[in-house]
Protein backbone atom coordinates (compact mmCIF):
# COMPACT_ATOMS: atom_id res chain seq x y z
CA UNK A 1 0.00 0.00 0.00
CA UNK A 2 1.26 3.48 -0.86
CA UNK A 3 0.15 6.90 0.26
CA UNK A 4 -1.00 7.71 -3.27
CA UNK A 5 -3.56 4.90 -3.44
CA UNK A 6 -7.28 5.53 -2.99
CA UNK A 7 -8.87 5.46 0.43
CA UNK A 8 -8.80 2.06 2.11
CA UNK A 9 -12.22 0.47 1.67
CA UNK A 10 -14.38 -0.26 4.70
CA UNK A 11 -14.64 -4.04 4.85
CA UNK A 12 -16.85 -6.33 6.91
CA UNK A 13 -15.38 -9.62 5.70
CA UNK A 14 -12.00 -9.74 7.44
CA UNK A 15 -10.85 -13.28 8.26
CA UNK A 16 -8.92 -14.43 11.29
CA UNK A 17 -5.99 -15.38 9.05
CA UNK A 18 -5.89 -11.91 7.52
CA UNK A 19 -5.78 -10.39 11.01
CA UNK A 20 -3.00 -12.81 12.00
CA UNK A 21 -1.04 -11.78 8.91
CA UNK A 22 -1.32 -8.11 9.89
CA UNK A 23 -0.07 -8.84 13.41
CA UNK A 24 2.85 -10.78 11.88
CA UNK A 25 4.10 -7.87 9.76
CA UNK A 26 7.46 -6.34 10.74
CA UNK A 27 6.72 -3.62 13.29
CA UNK A 28 7.82 -0.72 11.09
CA UNK A 29 5.85 -2.04 8.11
CA UNK A 30 2.72 -2.45 10.23
CA UNK A 31 2.95 1.08 11.63
CA UNK A 32 3.63 2.55 8.19
CA UNK A 33 0.58 0.80 6.79
CA UNK A 34 -1.59 1.87 9.73
CA UNK A 35 -0.42 5.49 9.54
CA UNK A 36 -1.06 5.53 5.78
CA UNK A 37 -4.63 4.33 6.34
CA UNK A 38 -5.05 6.79 9.19
CA UNK A 39 -4.05 9.76 7.01
CA UNK A 40 -6.57 8.72 4.36
CA UNK A 41 -9.46 9.18 6.79
CA UNK A 42 -8.36 11.55 9.57
CA UNK A 43 -6.18 14.55 10.32
CA UNK A 44 -3.10 12.74 11.74
CA UNK A 45 -2.46 15.52 14.26
CA UNK A 46 -5.92 15.68 15.83
CA UNK A 47 -7.11 13.53 18.73
CA UNK A 48 -10.69 13.38 20.00
CA UNK A 49 -10.87 14.05 23.74
CA UNK A 50 -13.48 12.60 26.11
CA UNK A 51 -13.98 12.66 29.86
CA UNK A 52 -15.48 9.73 31.78
CA UNK A 53 -17.43 10.03 35.03
CA UNK A 54 -18.69 7.18 37.20
CA UNK A 55 -22.28 8.11 38.01
CA UNK A 56 -22.86 4.98 40.08
CA UNK A 57 -19.96 3.03 41.55
CA UNK A 58 -19.55 -0.50 42.91
CA UNK A 59 -21.70 -3.54 43.81
CA UNK A 60 -22.17 -4.64 40.20
CA UNK A 61 -23.69 -8.16 40.05
CA UNK A 62 -21.54 -9.19 37.08
CA UNK A 63 -18.40 -11.25 37.69
CA UNK A 64 -16.00 -9.66 35.15
CA UNK A 65 -12.63 -10.85 36.47
CA UNK A 66 -10.86 -7.59 35.65
CA UNK A 67 -13.33 -5.22 37.28
CA UNK A 68 -12.96 -3.66 40.75
CA UNK A 69 -16.64 -2.69 40.65
CA UNK A 70 -17.82 -6.30 40.69
CA UNK A 71 -19.64 -7.25 43.88
CA UNK A 72 -18.00 -10.69 43.63
CA UNK A 73 -14.57 -9.41 44.69
CA UNK A 74 -13.21 -7.54 47.69
CA UNK A 75 -11.24 -4.65 46.22
CA UNK A 76 -11.92 -2.06 48.92
CA UNK A 77 -14.09 -0.03 46.56
CA UNK A 78 -16.97 1.58 48.40
CA UNK A 79 -20.45 1.32 46.95
CA UNK A 80 -21.90 4.67 45.95
CA UNK A 81 -25.40 5.76 45.01
CA UNK A 82 -26.31 7.36 41.71
CA UNK A 83 -24.73 10.82 41.62
CA UNK A 84 -26.83 13.94 42.08
CA UNK A 85 -27.53 15.96 38.95
CA UNK A 86 -25.66 18.99 40.34
CA UNK A 87 -22.47 16.96 40.72
CA UNK A 88 -22.75 15.49 37.23
CA UNK A 89 -23.29 18.92 35.68
CA UNK A 90 -20.36 20.41 37.60
CA UNK A 91 -18.10 17.61 36.33
CA UNK A 92 -19.38 18.03 32.78
CA UNK A 93 -18.72 21.78 32.81
CA UNK A 94 -15.22 21.21 34.19
CA UNK A 95 -14.54 18.62 31.48
CA UNK A 96 -15.61 21.03 28.77
CA UNK A 97 -13.42 23.77 30.23
CA UNK A 98 -10.43 21.38 30.04
CA UNK A 99 -11.03 20.70 26.37
CA UNK A 100 -13.25 17.63 26.29
CA UNK A 101 -15.75 17.43 23.43
CA UNK A 102 -17.55 14.34 24.74
CA UNK A 103 -18.75 13.50 28.25
CA UNK A 104 -19.13 9.82 29.08
CA UNK A 105 -21.11 8.55 32.06
CA UNK A 106 -20.79 5.02 33.43
CA UNK A 107 -22.89 3.11 35.95
CA UNK A 108 -22.02 -0.23 37.54
CA UNK A 109 -25.23 -2.00 36.59
CA UNK A 110 -26.09 -5.26 34.86
CA UNK A 111 -28.78 -3.18 33.16
CA UNK A 112 -30.55 0.04 34.18
CA UNK A 113 -33.53 -0.32 36.52
CA UNK A 114 -36.83 1.23 35.49
CA UNK A 115 -36.78 3.54 38.52
CA UNK A 116 -33.45 5.02 37.40
CA UNK A 117 -34.27 5.55 33.73
CA UNK A 118 -36.08 8.94 34.07
CA UNK A 119 -33.12 10.34 36.01
CA UNK A 120 -30.61 8.96 33.50
CA UNK A 121 -32.58 10.39 30.58
CA UNK A 122 -32.67 13.82 32.21
CA UNK A 123 -28.93 13.56 32.80
CA UNK A 124 -28.41 13.07 29.06
CA UNK A 125 -30.54 16.10 28.22
CA UNK A 126 -28.83 18.33 30.78
CA UNK A 127 -25.27 17.42 29.76
CA UNK A 128 -26.14 17.76 26.09
CA UNK A 129 -27.42 21.28 26.76
CA UNK A 130 -23.81 22.28 27.51
CA UNK A 131 -22.85 21.60 23.89
CA UNK A 132 -21.05 18.35 24.71
CA UNK A 133 -21.50 15.06 22.95
CA UNK A 134 -22.90 12.47 25.35
CA UNK A 135 -22.00 8.84 25.91
CA UNK A 136 -23.21 6.32 28.48
CA UNK A 137 -22.35 2.81 29.59
CA UNK A 138 -25.09 1.30 31.75
CA UNK A 139 -24.84 -2.42 31.01
CA UNK A 140 -27.27 -4.38 28.85
CA UNK A 141 -30.14 -2.55 27.16
CA UNK A 142 -33.51 -3.73 25.95
CA UNK A 143 -34.88 -2.29 22.72
CA UNK A 144 -37.19 0.13 24.55
CA UNK A 145 -34.39 1.35 26.84
CA UNK A 146 -32.10 1.98 23.89
CA UNK A 147 -34.84 3.91 22.10
CA UNK A 148 -35.55 6.02 25.19
CA UNK A 149 -31.88 6.99 25.45
CA UNK A 150 -31.77 7.84 21.76
CA UNK A 151 -34.93 9.96 22.07
CA UNK A 152 -33.30 11.85 24.96
CA UNK A 153 -30.42 12.74 22.65
CA UNK A 154 -27.70 10.29 23.70
CA UNK A 155 -25.02 10.31 21.01
CA UNK A 156 -22.94 7.24 21.90
CA UNK A 157 -23.46 4.07 23.89
CA UNK A 158 -20.46 2.10 25.14
CA UNK A 159 -20.72 -1.66 25.47
CA UNK A 160 -17.44 -3.54 25.07
CA UNK A 161 -17.06 -7.10 23.86
CA UNK A 162 -13.93 -7.28 26.07
CA UNK A 163 -12.21 -10.14 24.21
CA UNK A 164 -12.76 -12.84 21.60
CA UNK A 165 -15.75 -15.12 21.82
CA UNK A 166 -13.34 -18.03 22.31
CA UNK A 167 -11.75 -16.51 25.43
CA UNK A 168 -14.84 -14.78 26.77
CA UNK A 169 -15.90 -17.45 29.30
CA UNK A 170 -12.49 -17.15 30.96
CA UNK A 171 -13.35 -13.55 31.79
CA UNK A 172 -17.07 -13.45 32.62
CA UNK A 173 -19.81 -16.01 33.21
CA UNK A 174 -22.81 -13.89 34.29
CA UNK A 175 -23.72 -12.73 30.78
CA UNK A 176 -23.06 -14.25 27.38
CA UNK A 177 -21.22 -12.95 24.36
CA UNK A 178 -24.53 -12.96 22.53
CA UNK A 179 -26.02 -10.76 25.26
CA UNK A 180 -23.41 -8.15 24.41
CA UNK A 181 -24.03 -8.44 20.69
CA UNK A 182 -27.78 -8.09 21.27
CA UNK A 183 -27.26 -4.85 23.20
CA UNK A 184 -25.07 -3.49 20.40
CA UNK A 185 -27.81 -4.32 17.90
CA UNK A 186 -30.44 -2.57 20.05
CA UNK A 187 -28.23 0.51 20.31
CA UNK A 188 -27.61 0.64 16.58
CA UNK A 189 -31.27 0.07 15.71
CA UNK A 190 -32.24 2.98 18.00
CA UNK A 191 -30.04 5.28 15.93
CA UNK A 192 -27.20 5.85 18.41
CA UNK A 193 -23.51 5.59 17.64
CA UNK A 194 -21.62 2.62 19.02
CA UNK A 195 -18.53 2.68 21.23
CA UNK A 196 -17.19 -0.87 21.47
CA UNK A 197 -13.76 -2.40 21.98
CA UNK A 198 -11.92 -4.61 24.40
CA UNK A 199 -9.21 -5.12 26.98
CA UNK A 200 -5.72 -6.40 26.23
CA UNK A 201 -3.42 -8.16 28.69
CA UNK A 202 -5.97 -10.42 30.38
CA UNK A 203 -4.01 -13.58 29.60
CA UNK A 204 -5.42 -13.89 26.10
CA UNK A 205 -3.30 -15.01 23.15
CA UNK A 206 -2.71 -13.32 19.81
CA UNK A 207 -5.63 -15.17 18.22
CA UNK A 208 -7.93 -13.70 20.88
CA UNK A 209 -6.78 -10.16 20.12
CA UNK A 210 -7.13 -10.82 16.40
CA UNK A 211 -10.49 -12.51 16.93
CA UNK A 212 -11.86 -9.55 18.87
CA UNK A 213 -10.91 -7.17 16.04
CA UNK A 214 -12.42 -9.50 13.43
CA UNK A 215 -15.67 -9.58 15.43
CA UNK A 216 -15.77 -5.77 15.67
CA UNK A 217 -14.96 -5.34 11.99
CA UNK A 218 -17.65 -7.90 11.07
CA UNK A 219 -20.46 -5.89 12.65
CA UNK A 220 -22.97 -4.56 10.07
CA UNK A 221 -21.57 -1.09 10.79
CA UNK A 222 -18.18 -0.56 12.39
CA UNK A 223 -18.26 1.07 15.83
CA UNK A 224 -17.71 4.81 15.52
CA UNK A 225 -15.40 4.53 18.53
CA UNK A 226 -13.17 1.52 19.33
CA UNK A 227 -11.59 1.73 22.81
CA UNK A 228 -8.44 -0.37 23.13
CA UNK A 229 -7.73 -0.83 26.83
CA UNK A 230 -4.68 -2.19 28.60
CA UNK A 231 -5.66 -4.19 31.67
CA UNK A 232 -5.38 -2.17 34.87
CA UNK A 233 -4.56 -4.79 37.49
CA UNK A 234 -6.46 -4.15 40.72
CA UNK A 235 -5.74 -5.97 43.99
CA UNK A 236 -8.62 -8.22 44.97
CA UNK A 237 -9.66 -9.09 41.43
CA UNK A 238 -8.80 -12.50 39.94
CA UNK A 239 -6.50 -10.77 37.44
CA UNK A 240 -4.32 -8.86 39.87
CA UNK A 241 -1.31 -11.10 39.14
CA UNK A 242 -1.76 -11.80 35.43
CA UNK A 243 1.43 -11.45 33.36
CA UNK A 244 2.00 -8.10 31.68
CA UNK A 245 1.38 -7.79 27.96
CA UNK A 246 4.41 -6.76 25.90
CA UNK A 247 3.90 -3.05 25.07
CA UNK A 248 4.76 -3.69 21.42
CA UNK A 249 1.89 -6.18 21.22
CA UNK A 250 -0.45 -3.47 22.49
CA UNK A 251 0.80 -1.01 19.86
CA UNK A 252 0.35 -3.72 17.21
CA UNK A 253 -3.26 -4.14 18.33
CA UNK A 254 -3.87 -0.41 17.88
CA UNK A 255 -2.36 -0.56 14.39
CA UNK A 256 -4.37 -3.58 13.28
CA UNK A 257 -7.56 -1.98 14.62
CA UNK A 258 -6.80 1.14 12.56
CA UNK A 259 -6.28 -0.88 9.38
CA UNK A 260 -9.37 -3.06 9.83
CA UNK A 261 -11.68 -0.21 10.87
CA UNK A 262 -10.32 2.77 8.93
CA UNK A 263 -13.18 5.19 9.63
CA UNK A 264 -13.50 4.51 13.36
CA UNK A 265 -11.94 6.56 16.11
CA UNK A 266 -9.51 4.20 17.85
CA UNK A 267 -9.34 5.20 21.49
CA UNK A 268 -6.23 4.81 23.61
CA UNK A 269 -8.17 4.10 26.77
CA UNK A 270 -7.55 2.46 30.16
CA UNK A 271 -3.96 1.70 31.10
CA UNK A 272 -2.41 4.97 29.90
CA UNK A 273 -1.33 5.70 33.47
CA UNK A 274 1.35 3.00 33.14
CA UNK A 275 2.45 4.04 29.63
CA UNK A 276 5.34 6.41 29.19
CA UNK A 277 5.15 9.25 26.68
CA UNK A 278 7.11 7.30 24.09
CA UNK A 279 4.65 4.40 24.13
CA UNK A 280 1.70 6.75 23.87
CA UNK A 281 3.37 8.48 20.93
CA UNK A 282 3.77 5.10 19.20
CA UNK A 283 0.07 4.44 19.76
CA UNK A 284 -0.82 7.75 18.09
CA UNK A 285 1.51 6.88 15.21
CA UNK A 286 -0.24 3.49 14.95
CA UNK A 287 -3.57 5.25 14.45
CA UNK A 288 -5.01 5.96 17.90
CA UNK A 289 -6.91 9.24 17.67
CA UNK A 290 -9.04 9.40 20.80
CA UNK A 291 -8.27 9.47 24.52
CA UNK A 292 -9.95 9.89 27.87
CA UNK A 293 -8.81 13.11 29.50
CA UNK A 294 -8.57 13.58 33.24
CA UNK A 295 -7.66 11.88 36.48
CA UNK A 296 -9.86 8.77 36.57
CA UNK A 297 -11.39 6.12 34.35
CA UNK A 298 -14.42 5.15 36.45
CA UNK A 299 -12.39 3.78 39.37
CA UNK A 300 -8.78 3.54 38.13
CA UNK A 301 -6.14 6.21 37.58
CA UNK A 302 -5.68 8.01 34.27
CA UNK A 303 -3.00 10.56 33.28
CA UNK A 304 -3.85 14.03 34.52
CA UNK A 305 -5.24 16.49 32.00
CA UNK A 306 -2.24 18.84 32.37
CA UNK A 307 0.13 15.99 31.48
CA UNK A 308 -1.98 15.16 28.45
CA UNK A 309 -1.85 18.76 27.25
CA UNK A 310 1.93 18.81 27.70
CA UNK A 311 2.27 15.61 25.66
CA UNK A 312 0.03 17.04 22.95
CA UNK A 313 2.31 20.09 22.74
CA UNK A 314 5.41 17.92 22.44
CA UNK A 315 3.85 15.91 19.61
CA UNK A 316 2.15 18.80 17.82
CA UNK A 317 -1.27 17.24 18.43
CA UNK A 318 -4.48 19.25 18.72
CA UNK A 319 -7.76 18.22 20.34
CA UNK A 320 -10.37 17.41 17.72
CA UNK A 321 -13.03 20.10 17.75
CA UNK A 322 -16.74 19.39 17.60
CA UNK A 323 -18.62 21.90 15.49
CA UNK A 324 -20.87 23.88 17.80
CA UNK A 325 -21.66 27.41 18.86
CA UNK A 326 -18.94 28.88 21.03
CA UNK A 327 -19.01 31.64 23.59
CA UNK A 328 -17.00 34.80 22.98
CA UNK A 329 -14.40 33.66 25.51
CA UNK A 330 -14.08 30.27 23.81
CA UNK A 331 -13.76 31.97 20.44
CA UNK A 332 -10.90 34.13 21.72
CA UNK A 333 -9.17 31.08 23.20
CA UNK A 334 -9.62 29.13 19.96
CA UNK A 335 -8.08 31.99 17.96
CA UNK A 336 -5.13 32.13 20.37
CA UNK A 337 -4.61 28.37 20.01
CA UNK A 338 -4.77 28.67 16.24
CA UNK A 339 -2.20 31.49 16.24
CA UNK A 340 0.12 29.43 18.47
CA UNK A 341 -0.23 26.47 16.13
CA UNK A 342 0.59 28.58 13.05
CA UNK A 343 3.65 30.00 14.81
CA UNK A 344 4.99 26.55 15.71
CA UNK A 345 3.79 24.37 12.84
CA UNK A 346 7.18 24.67 11.08
CA UNK A 347 8.61 22.57 13.90
CA UNK A 348 6.58 19.56 12.82
CA UNK A 349 7.07 17.54 9.64
CA UNK A 350 3.93 16.61 7.69
CA UNK A 351 4.74 13.30 5.98
CA UNK A 352 1.52 13.46 3.94
CA UNK A 353 3.10 16.19 1.80
CA UNK A 354 5.95 13.98 0.69
CA UNK A 355 5.58 12.97 -2.94
CA UNK A 356 5.70 9.28 -3.82
Catalytic residue, chosen from 252, 267, 272, 283, is 267
- The verdict on whether residue 267 carries a ligand-binding annotation is yes
165: Cα separation from own chain's centroid:
20
Q: How would you classify the pairing of strands 102-107 and 290-292?
A: unpaired
Strand partners, 47: 319
Query: Does residue 195 have an active-site annotation?
Result: yes
Query: Does residue 325 have an active-site annotation?
Result: no
Query: Does residue 267 have an active-site annotation?
Result: yes
C-alpha–C-alpha distance, residues 285 and 126, integer Å: 36
Q: Tell me how many degrees the CA angle 152-158-163 measures, rounded to the nearest 5.
A: 160
Q: Tell me how many degrees the CA angle 28-233-213 measures, rounded to the nearest 5.
A: 45
C-alpha–C-alpha distance, residues 108 and 112, integer Å: 9
- The verdict on whether residue 325 carries a ligand-binding annotation is no
C-alpha–C-alpha distance, residues 331 and 325, integer Å: 9
Query: Does residue 196 have an active-site annotation?
Result: no
Catalytic residue, chosen from 33, 102, 135, 252, is 135
Task: Report the candidate in 213, 289, 216, 205 with the shortest Cα–Cα distance to residue 246.
Answer: 205
Let me know: does 93 contact 45? Beta carbons within 8 Å: no
C-alpha–C-alpha distance, residues 303 and 292, integer Å: 9
Q: What is the C-alpha R_g of the chain? A: 20
C-alpha–C-alpha distance, residues 231 and 157, integer Å: 21
Catalytic residue, chosen from 175, 180, 195, 272, is 195
- The verdict on whether residue 67 carries a ligand-binding annotation is yes
Let me know: does 148 contact 176? Beta carbons within 8 Å: no
Q: What share of the chain is helix, strand, coil (3-state, %, to 5)?
A: 40, 15, 45
Catalytic residue, chosen from 33, 60, 180, 196, is 60
- The verdict on whether residue 196 carries a ligand-binding annotation is no
C-alpha–C-alpha distance, residues 107 and 84, integer Å: 13
Query: Does residue 60 have an active-site annotation?
Result: yes
Catalytic residue, chosen from 11, 33, 39, 104, is 104
Q: 81 vs 93, 108, 125, 145, CA distance in Å?
A: 21, 10, 20, 21
C-alpha–C-alpha distance, residues 192 and 186, integer Å: 9
Q: Which residues of 205-228 are buried (b: 16+ CB within 10 A; e: fewer)?
A: eebbbbbbbbbbbebeebbbbbbb
- The verdict on whether residue 283 carries a ligand-binding annotation is no
Residues comprising the binding site for [2Fe-2S] cluster? 104, 135, 195, 267
Q: Which residues are annotated as a binding site for [4Fe-4S] cluster?
A: 60, 64, 67
- Return the active site residues: 60, 64, 67, 104, 135, 195, 267
Binding site residue list: 60, 64, 67, 104, 135, 195, 267
Amino acid sequence: MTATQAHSPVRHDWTLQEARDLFALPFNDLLFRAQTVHRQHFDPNEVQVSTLLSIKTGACPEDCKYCPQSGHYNTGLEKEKLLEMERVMAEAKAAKDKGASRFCMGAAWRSPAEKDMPYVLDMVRQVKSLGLETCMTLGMLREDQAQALADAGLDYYNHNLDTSEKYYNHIITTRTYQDRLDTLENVRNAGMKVCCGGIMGMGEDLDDRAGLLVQLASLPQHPESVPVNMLVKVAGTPMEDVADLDPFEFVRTIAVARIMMPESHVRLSAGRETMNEQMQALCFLAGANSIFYGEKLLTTANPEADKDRALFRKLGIRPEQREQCRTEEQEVEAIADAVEYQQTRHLFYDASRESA
